[in-house]
Structure 1
Amino acid sequence: MSGIAIGGGMQAVFNMDSLTLTVEDAPHPVAVPGGLIARVTLAGVCGSDVHRVVGHVKDATGRVSFGHEAVGVVEELGDGLNVDWGGLPVSVGDRIVWYAGSAPCGKCRGCRTTGEACDDRQWPLPSAVPNAAGYRDVASLSPLVPFFRVDGPVTDEEIVAFGCALPTAIGGQRRLGQIEPGQTVVVQGAGPVGIAAAMVVSLSPARNIIVIGAPAHRLELAREFGASSTINLDETSAEERLARVLELTDGRGADVVIEAAGVPEAFPEGVSLLARHGRYLLSGLYSGTREVSFNPVQLVLKSARVFGNLGSRPEVGLQALRFVQANRDRFPFSRIVTHRYELGSIAAALDAMQDGSAVKAVVTPRPPARRTA
C-alpha cells in the first residue's frame, strides 16, 4: 500500500563539488506506485565509490547519495508491485538485493536496443529526495531499480561480498565468449573484481587460471576462489611475470587476459601476456586520466581482440544471486568481507578500501527504531 511515511533515518551525503562526506538525516520516503521501501541491512563498499570520493569520477554535481551494493528487507510495497524483477512474488518482510547504480531510464535508444547501454543512467542520485542508495538506513526503490528476492540460508555478507564485482565478472565472461578446454586465463588484480573473475572462470574448462596481484594474503584468497597459480606483483618485475606465464603455458602465452587491476600500466603488460588470437577484457580501468605508452602493432601481430566491460543487463544481477546461492558450499564468500563499519563511520570504510587494508568493507546501518501508529 503506498502513501505511508516511514522514518528516513540517516544517510551518507557526498558533495561532488567540494569532495566532502557527511552523515545526515535522510528525507522520509514514501512508496511510489510500482516501487518499494526497504530497510537496509548491509551495504558493500565498491572501489568505484572510492574513485568518486577522491574526485576521479565526476559523474554528477552537488550533494548526492551513493552506495550501489545493498541488501535489505521490504518494509512497504507501492501500489501495483507484487513480483520482483525475476518474476517471483514479493511481500513485506522479504529479503531483497538491489542494484541502484544500474537502474536504466527505460526510454533511451540504448535501453530499447541492447538493454545494457543506457544513455541516461541516473547515478548517483540527489540526496535531497528519497532514493535507492545503500549508504542509508531506509532506501526507496523506484520502479526502475532492479531487485530480486533472496531465499534460503545465504547470508547478507555472502551476497554483498562480491557486490557488483560478481555481475561484472559474469557480464565480462559473456562479452568474452566461451573459454575452451585447455585454455589459460590470466587475471591482473587480486581485489574483489579480480577474485570474482577467477572464481567465475574456475567453473569453465580452463586449464590454468593465473592471478597476478598483491599482497600475499589476497593471493591466498584467490587460490581459495579458483586460481591454480598466483604471481606476486610486489616480488616480480614485468619481465619475470611474462617469463612465468610463458613457463606455465609451454611458451605460448595466455588465451585470455582479464584486467582487474584498475591501473593503466596493466594494459601494455596484459597485451604482452597474450598468446596469438588471444582475448583481452578490461574490467578494472573505471576512471583516471593517466596515459601509458603502447605499441598497437602488438594487437595486430597477435590478431588479438580487446573488450571493454562496463554495465550489464539487469538479469545479470539475478545470475549473480543464483551463483552465490548455488556455490556457497564451494567458495567461502564471507571471507572476502574483511572490514565492517557502522554507517556513521562510512569515511573510515572508504579509507580502508582506498589504502588496500580491506579486501572488502561493508557498512551496517542502525537497527530499526520502534514504529508507532
Structure 2
Amino acid sequence: MTTAVVMNGPRAPLESRTYDLPELEPGAVLLRTLGSEVCGTDVHLWHGQLAGVPYPIIPGHVSAGRVARLGPGDPARDVSGAPLRPGQVVTFLDVYGTCGRCWYCTVAHATTRCPARKVYGVTLSADDGLFGGWAEHIHLKPGVHVIPLPDALDWRAFMAGGCGMPTALHAVTLGEIAFGDTVVVQGAGPVGLCGAILAQLRGAGQVIVVGGPEVRLAAAHRFGADLVLDISALTADERLAAVRDATGGRGADVTIEATGVPAAVPEGMRLTRDAGRYVVVGQYTDAGTATVNPHLDLNRKHLEVRGCWGSDAGHVYRSVQVMARYNRQFPWAELISCEYDLGTAQCALEDVAAQRVVKALIVP
C-alpha cells in the first residue's frame, strides 16, 4: 500500500488516499518519491483556472524519485538509451503520450502543442493511478521520458529549480541572449529567478529583475541580478524610467515575461528597446486581456515577440546538465524556502498561492 494527496476539485480541501502498488507493464517504472514541487500550476489547478482537468487528480508534475521497481522484460531506458537500474535517482518529463505523428510533432517540431499530450499531476486522473508527485510512489508509464540525476547534482538542488528551470531554459533560448545584452526579467518567481540565472550563463552584460514580494527579490539579489525593481514601491512609469536609465535610454535588448499578469505584457514591450526581443512565458492560464498600442508598442519599435509554452524532454535534460555543471556558482537548494510532508500539503499550497515562499517541496 502507498499514500497520495488528492485534489478533488477547485477550492476543495486536499485529501489523503491509499492505493495498492500498481502491477507494472513492460517498460514501466515505479518510483519511490523523494520530492515533488508545489508550483504556480498547482495553484492554478486549485483555483480551477485550467480547462480539461479530470478531477480528482494527484498534484505534482515535476518530481524526483528513486527507482523502486522496473516492469518485466527489457528494462525501461533513460533519454540517453541506457537501461534504468533499481536505486537510481531520476526525474522525468511530466508530459506523457506525445504522439510523435501529428503535424505539430513531425512538421512544426513543437511537441508542447501535440493534442495527444497528457501531463502527470495535471491531466491524468487520480482514479486511474499514481500519476502525480504528491505521493509516496509514482507510476511511470511505458514511454515516459526519464532523465537520471548525476552524482554531482543532489535531488534537492534539482528540485529547487523544478519546472521553473526547464521552462526558463526554453524562454531564454527563444530570447537568443547574446554576450553583453541587457536582459529584463519580469517576475521573481521560480521561472523568473531561473531565467535571471540562465541569462547570466548565456553572457548577459546586465540582468534586471522586476517583481516582488521581498522574499523573492532577496533571492534575485543573492543569485546575481544587477538591479532589482520592486513593483510595490515603483509605478510602471518609474520602472520604465529605471530600465531606461540603466540602458542608456534604449531599454532592454531582451525581456522575458514570467509574471502571469496580463498587464505585464504591454509594460514589458515598453521596457524593451527598439528592434529588441520580447519572450512571453508567464501567461500559462487565461487571466484576462491587456491593451497594447500596435503602432507604438510593436510596429514602430520593430519589436520581435515570441510566445513560449512549457518545455519538452530536451529542456529538462539540458536543465539537469546545467544545474550539475554550475552548482558551485549557484547554490540552487537555497531557493527552497520550506519542505512539507503529505499531511501538510494544504499548507504548502496556500503558502505558494500567497507567495510566502520562493520554492516549496512536498517530501513524502
TM-score (norm 1): 0.91
* Residue type at the aligned position of 1:25: T
**Residue 102 of structure 2 aligns with which residue?**
108
2:52 aligned with 1:53: no
2:84 aligned with 1:90: yes
Q: 1:360 to 1:280 in 2, by over 3 A?
A: same
* Residue type at the aligned position of 2:264: A
Q: 1:315 to 1:267 in 2, by over 3 A?
A: same
* Residue type at the aligned position of 1:33: P
Where 1:64 maps in the other structure, the secondary structure is coil
* Residue type at the aligned position of 1:275: R
Structure 2 contact 32–65 (Cα < 8 Å) conserved? yes
Choose which of 101, 116, 119 in structure 1 pairs with 2:115. Answer: 119
Aligned mates of 1:233, 1:289 — CA distance in 2 = 19
**Residue 218 of structure 1 aligns with which residue?**
216
**Residue 295 of structure 1 aligns with which residue?**
293
* Residue type at the aligned position of 1:60: V
Where 1:74 maps in the other structure, the secondary structure is strand
Aligned mates of 1:109, 1:344 — CA distance in 2 = 44
Choose which of 13, 17, 25 in structure 2 pairs with 1:32. Answer: 25
**Residue 370 of structure 1 aligns with which residue?**
none
Give per-residue Cα distances to partners, 1:125-175, cap 9 Å, x unaligned: 111222441111111101232111122142221011111111011111222
* Residue type at the aligned position of 2:166: P
Choose which of 278, 281, 299 in structure 2 pairs with 1:280. Answer: 278
Aligned mates of 1:363, 1:162 — CA distance in 2 = 14
Choose which of 263, 266, 273 in structure 1 pairs with 2:264. Answer: 266
TM-score (norm 2): 0.93
Structure 1 contact 33–81 (Cα < 8 Å) conserved? yes
**Residue 309 of structure 1 aligns with which residue?**
308
Where 1:338 maps in the other structure, the secondary structure is strand
Give, in angstroms, the shift of residue 112 of structure 1: 3.1
Give, in angstroms, the shift of residue 262 of structure 1: 1.2
Q: 1:299 to 1:115 in 2, by over 3 A?
A: closer
Task: Give aligned pairs, total.
Answer: 357
Aligned mates of 1:109, 1:130 — CA distance in 2 = 30
Structure 1 contact 16–60 (Cα < 8 Å) conserved? no
* Residue type at the aligned position of 1:38: L
Structure 1 contact 103–146 (Cα < 8 Å) conserved? no
Give per-residue Cα distances to partners, 1:243-267, cap 9 Å, x unaligned: 1101000001111110011111101
Where 2:127 maps in the other structure, the secondary structure is coil
Structure 1 contact 189–261 (Cα < 8 Å) conserved? yes
Give, in angstroms, the shift of residue 104 of structure 1: 2.2
Report the more deviating stretch, 219-228 or 47-56.
219-228
* Residue type at the aligned position of 2:294: P
Structure 2 contact 213–355 (Cα < 8 Å) conserved? no
Q: 1:223 to 1:107 in 2, by over 3 A?
A: same
Report the more deviating stretch, 231-240 or 92-101.
92-101
Where 2:147 maps in the other structure, the secondary structure is strand
Give, in angstroms, the shift of residue 103 of structure 1: 5.2
Identity of paired residues, percent? 32
Aligned mates of 1:55, 1:68 — CA distance in 2 = 16
Report the more deviating stretch, 82-91 or 118-127.
82-91
Give per-residue Cα distances to partners, 1:318-352, cap 9 Å, x unaligned: 11111111111010111111011101221111101
2:63 aligned with 1:65: no
* Residue type at the aligned position of 1:316: H
Aligned mates of 1:320, 1:102 — CA distance in 2 = 19
Q: 1:274 to 1:17 in 2, by over 3 A?
A: closer
Give, in angstroms, the shift of residue 13 of structure 1: 1.5
Where 1:80 maps in the other structure, the secondary structure is coil
2:27 aligned with 1:41: no
**Residue 186 of structure 1 aligns with which residue?**
184
Give per-residue Cα distances to partners, 1:71-116, cap 9 Å, x unaligned: 1111111222253112233211111111224652444332333152
2:220 aligned with 1:254: no
Aligned mates of 2:97, 2:155 — CA distance in 1 = 21
Aligned mates of 2:360, 2:3 — CA distance in 1 = 19
Aligned mates of 1:153, 1:171 — CA distance in 2 = 23
